Amino acid sequence: MGYLLDTMVISWAVRDLHQAPAVVRALRSEGDLAVSAISLLELRRGLPAEDYHRATDELVDVGVVPMDGAIAEAAGEYLLRCYEEGYRVDFFAGVIATTAARTGRALVTYSPAQYPLANFNIVQLASVLKR
């Protein structure tokens, strides 16, 4: 199974928080690990430069899934559906969710509640180390 890391997991991994470094190591050893290109944007926008550079160093051998037209269109539909059903989903989370769904990857996250109406597998951060 392939995995997609959400932005918070990456951010925590480079700052050595919440067992995220161990989770990333465990998933990396399993193989097919990726991040959404939108996560790189979110990390650059939100992290101090030093932490951002550590994050990109950490992700050197991790695949980056680009946001193509199909992901963009599906993300718009997902965000609209969430809004219509009363959920307020962050733009970045919507794109990350759709990236996981469109690529058939399980999304690794600390907070599954960020991803309502998910039509993909979600793996909670803490559960990775319990396997």
Reduce the DSSP state of residue 108 to 3 states and report it.
strand
Residue spans of the domains in the chain: they are 3-128
- Pick 100 or 13 by higher pLDDT: 100
Average of per-residue pLDDT across 4-16: 84
CA-to-CA separations, 114 to 56, 87, 96, 107, in angstroms, rounded: 24, 9, 10, 11
Q: What predicted TM-score, i.e. pTM, was given to this entire model?
A: 0.89
Predicted confidence band at 16 (pLDDT cuts at 50, 70, 90)? Answer: confident
Identify the bridge partners of residue 34 per DSSP, sorted by sequence position. 4, 63
pLDDT of residue 87: 95
pLDDT of residue 6: 92
Topology of domain 3-128 in CATH is Rossmann fold (3.40.50)
Q: What is the DSSP letter of 34?
A: E
Q: How far apart are CA 35 and CA 99, in angstroms?
A: 9
Q: What is the pLDDT of residues 25-83, one digit of tens each?
A: 778 877 789 999 999 999 999 888 988 888 888 888 888 999 999 999 999 999 999 99
